[in-house]
Amino acid sequence: MDKEPRFNLRASQLLGDIMQLSALINVHTEYAVFVRYSGHVSRIELNICRSKEEYNIRVTTDELHTIARKSVNEEHVISNLTKMKLRLKKILKESKVNISDCRYTVREEYDYHLI
């Protein structure tokens, strides 16, 4: 496997983790998290807001282009996606939300009746 597919796989796994952790924060804490992924330009925007009532007061905002191309440093992208994930995990940990069962798996299933 050459470098670009490995990078894209890792980046997509981190994007999935960020989405999952954001959903858990919105359900189990007072924070309001907004995640926007624009696939047509491979860009993620993550806004963590003080609360659901004060959603216009941002604690932090991150924006990042995630596509593997010559103008994007792959290590920079993975590093920043990892930082986003760790920031979200920290919020859940501080809020005493158990995230030990949060790993998901991507499975391929085939329904041969449809083929």
Dihedral, 1, 7, 43, 69 alpha carbons, nearest 10: -70
Give the pLDDT confidence score for residue 1 in this predicted structure: 46
Between residues 2 and 99, which one has the greater pLDDT? 99
Percent of the chain at pLDDT > 90 equals: 49
pLDDT at 11 over 70: yes
Smallest CA-to-CA distance from 82 within 44, 32, 29, 55 is with 44
Beta pairing partners, 36 = 45
Please state, in angstroms and rounded to a whole number, the distance separating the CA atoms of residues 22 and 67: 21
Between residues 22 and 9, which one has the greater pLDDT? 22
pLDDT at 112 over 90: no
Joined together, the tokens standing for residue 67 give: 């596509």
Percent of the chain at pLDDT > 70 equals: 80
pTM exceeds cut of 0.85? no
Average pLDDT over residues 65-93: 85
Tens-place pLDDT, residues 97-110: 888 766 655 444 45
